[in-house]
Amino acid sequence: MDKSILNEQDYYRKVFGGWLGKNIGGTLGGFVEGRTELMDMTFYPEVPDKPLANDDLDLQLVWLHALEQYGARITSKELGQEWVEHIFFPFDEYGYTLTNLRCGLQAPVSGSFNNPFKDCMGSPIRSEIWAMVAPGAPGVAAYYAYQDAIVDHAGGEGVYGEMFFAAIESAAFLESDRDRLIEIGLAFIPEQCRTARAVKDVIQWFQSGKTWIEARELIVGEYGRYNFTDAPQNIAFTILGWLYGTDFEDSLLKAVNCGYDTDCTGATLGAILGIIGGADCIPERWVQPIGHSVVVSPQIKGFQPPSDLEDLTRRTLAVSKEVMAIWNIPVVIDPVAPTQVVEDNIRIPGNWNGDYDPRWLVGQSALTNRYLLPGGAALNRGLEVTIDYGQGGPTIGVAERKTLTITLLNQTEELWEGKFGLEVPSLWNKEEGRYYQLQPEEKLVWETFVESGSEQLPFYELSFQIDRWHDDSLWNSHNVRFTLLPTNYWKLWGPDSTESVEMMIPGNRISFPELLGTEASGTYAAQTTLINPRKRNVRLIVGTRSPVKACLNDEVLLEDREMSEFVPGYHRSYIKRLFEVELDKGSHVLDIQVEKGDELLELYVLPVAFTQTKTPGGNFYFTDILFGPANKDVNKDANKDASKE
């Protein structure tokens, strides 16, 4: 197969231009992040002397370190490990995912369970590293983007956004036609996902003669969400800037002036244009204030980041050599020959030669974990084990019986036979293991159960053990370790009830209508016992749009009778929907009342750290604070009357 040639200097120039554009766009947008009105900036609102620190770049420095540490066969498992070791951000999906990872969950369940931010921008913003190490191979870049995004966005639009941008940016090393690049990006994501529909609508509005301001208003009307970080609306703004802009500067300003997640829209578009045109396409007036510095947020720790953009570019190119070799990417980096493109090598999926097609991954369940054996394998050439946690996801209550579905698939060319079974915590019950025989390509499904004991812990460690036999004797054993989390215990009352309903709720979201089966207006109540293992400062978020009152040990600590918008982030909750307290060791009864009108009623209860902590990385979730069975009854009528005083 013929390979395209990418001149080594062209490659360097494009990678450097991508990182430079990323810094410029992220700095421009960083000044106005979260503003949702149409703006009219013409330059940096405040002229900086260095780039603004930005998670858009920060996280990709961690992924560069991961590639250097683990190599080109990196998967979501290793990226999850990097999160826990090096990323101390509490922001939205980052915070929820770090909570899951710290408790032992793995991708994709780490990104899907108890995560209200799966559709947001946290992963589309970190696509460039995968494109840069896989130039001219959009399928490989999209594969890495998928492995990355499912850690914190599994099952959501964030996955599609990162795959879309990674494919575009990879192809941009050999292709400069905007419309063709967008077509390539769209080919990797589901046609009917909100991201794809938003992009196609922007293109249609552009082609029909709408002005960029009209297109912006249509995006807000069709795809706008209250949460300014929602991905489809912001990806559409990025494409709007690209379509309507006349050059680097005009494109960047149009995208950022649309508002919302402006550091993300500006940074991604700056990177795309920087890859296509190299640093030469970027006007000096945008470069001069920030230079070539790399500024890293203090919550990114534990490794040596690049000293500047030149160092970042050199390190990116160094790891790309292994990536290109492992994947046999049909591109040769040549120090002398000019860049020469073999057109067949960058066509959309199904029409090219030599690239990987990762679209099948999008159909994988975000609610099951998949393990490849032997342990540490990156290629599916041994035994594949999947664990489906069933109803409630990876959670279990006290003295609860839970069904697990475990599937084995023999991907080898040899017979596997032996015995398998579960290892569970002491005082738990389980089904006995069983003997098995698996011919090559044969699948076995085992629906089994575990029953927990009476002790509630922050998490429970289990393992699935597979013994393999040879000649009727034990040959070796494989262990798949996994985690179950405790459900949160609540007593709930509807507006017309005097008796409580006891619920075991997976995660932190309480949807009264779903749980109680009523949409009636009135006062709803909830009670639990917070079990705190040591004295500490706690920010307790009682998140809801509805009027709310919260008491801790019979003391009113929060009361707000107004309706308000609410985003359940650890770090940016509405100030009237939280209180901060020095919480003693032991049990504390939490009572909450919320008033429902015609609006949707939901409640998030989140015990997190204060913003200021001994080291950077505050607002993290306290995984060892448990929601246990309530230990006192609530007089519902008295509570309702008290709420009206």
Summarised one tens digit per residue, pLDDT across range 70-81 is 999 999 999 999
What pLDDT digit, counting tens, does each position of 83-118 carry?
Answer: 999 999 999 999 999 999 999 999 999 999 999 999
At 636 the pLDDT is 38
Answer whether residue 344 shows pLDDT above 90. Answer: no
Share of the chain above pLDDT 70, in %: 96
* Order of strands, sheet of 401-410, starting from the edge strand that comes earlier in the sequence: 368-373, 383-388, 401-410, 443-451, 429-430
pTM for this one? 0.95
**Which of 155-164, 196-205, 347-356, 522-531 shows the lowest per-residue confidence on average (mean pLDDT)?**
347-356
**Token pair recorded at residue 605:** 């209860």
DSSP-derived pairing of the beta strands 509-510 and 578-583: unpaired
- Cα–chain-centroid distance for residue 450? 29
Residue 345 predicted with pLDDT over 90: no
Average pLDDT over residues 360-380: 90
What pLDDT is stored for residue 641 in this prediction?
38
Residue 584 has pLDDT above 90, yes or no: yes
Give residue 461's Cα distance to chain centre.
Answer: 24
**Nearest of 169, 235, 165 to residue 197 by alpha carbon:** 235
- Strands of 434-438's sheet, edge to edge? 395-396, 473-486, 460-470, 416-423, 434-438
| Chain centre distance of CA 107 | 10
What's the confidence (pLDDT) of residue 631? 54
Contact between 383 and 410 under an 8 Å Cβ cutoff? The reply is yes
DSSP 286: H
Residue 95, token pair as written in the block? 């915070």
**Hey, what domains does the chain have and what are their CATH numbers?**
4-358 (1.10.4080.10), 393-483 (2.60.40.10), 488-643 (2.60.120.380)
Indicate if the pLDDT at residue 346 is higher than 80: no
Helix, strand, or coil (residue 142): helix
Mean confidence (pLDDT) of the chain: 94
> CB-side exposure of 617: number of CA atoms within 13 Å?
18
pLDDT, one tens digit per residue, over 390-436 is 999 999 999 999 999 999 999 999 999 999 999 999 999 999 999 99
What lies within 8 Å, CB to CB, of 208 at 6+ separation is none
Mean pLDDT of 293-297: 98
What distance in Å separates the CA atoms of residue 501 and residue 527, rounded to the nearest whole number?
10
Q: In whole angstroms, what is the distance from residue 507 CA to residue 105 CA? A: 13
Question: CB-based contacts of 595: which residues, under 8 Å, 6+ apart?
Answer: 522, 523, 524, 546, 547, 548, 561, 643
The Cα–Cα gap between 587 and 165 comes to 48
Q: How far apart are CA 600 and CA 201, in angstroms?
A: 29
* Contacts made by residues 310-317, CB under 8 angstroms, sequence distance 24+: 310/16, 312/19, 312/61, 312/64, 313/12, 313/15, 313/16, 313/19, 315/64, 315/68, 316/15, 316/19, 316/64, 316/129, 316/132, 316/133, 317/11, 317/12, 317/15
Angle at 226 between CA 220 and CA 227, to 5 degrees: 110
What's the length of the chain? 645
- Across the range 155-165, mean pLDDT stands at 98
pLDDT per residue as tens digits for the range 38-56: 999 999 999 999 999 999 9
Q: Which two tokens stand for residue 311?
A: 């160092």
The Cβ-side half-sphere exposure at 237, using a 13 Å CA radius, reads 36
Is the pLDDT confidence value at 193 over 80?
Answer: yes
d(CA 156, CA 365): 11
Q: Which two tokens stand for residue 185?
A: 């990006």
Residue 9 CB coordination number (10 Å): 14
CA distance 314 to 231: 31
How far apart CA 116 and CA 106 sit, in angstroms, is: 17
Structural element, H or E, at residue 141: helix 138-153
> What does the pLDDT read at residue 475?
96
pLDDT category at 355 given cuts 50, 70, 90 is confident
pLDDT for 118-135, tens place per residue?
Answer: 999 999 999 999 999 999
Contacts of 136 by beta carbon, 8 Å cutoff, 6+ apart: 4, 6, 170, 171, 173, 174, 329, 330, 331, 341, 345, 346
Q: Give the Cα separation of 74 and 66 in Å (integer).
A: 8
Least confident of 98-107, 154-163, 373-382, 520-529: 373-382
Which DSSP string corresponds to 485-532?
A: EEPEEEEEE-TT-SS-EEEEESSSEE-HHHHHS----EEEEEEEEEEE
User: Residue 589, Cα to own-chain centre: how many angstroms?
Assistant: 33
The partner residues of 387 in beta bridges, in order of sequence, read 369, 406
Check pLDDT > 70 for residue 350.
no
- CA torsion 32→236→93→598, rounded to 10°? 90
Whether pLDDT at 318 is above 90: yes
pLDDT at 640: 37
pLDDT tier at 82, thresholds 50, 70, 90: very high
Q: Which two tokens stand for residue 367?
A: 């609610």
Angle at 304 between CA 298 and CA 306, to 5 degrees: 90
Residue-level pLDDT at 633: 41
| CA 261 to chain CA centroid, nearest Å | 16
* Contact between 526 and 603 (Cβ < 8 Å): yes
Going by pLDDT thresholds of 50, 70 and 90, the confidence category of residue 232 is: very high
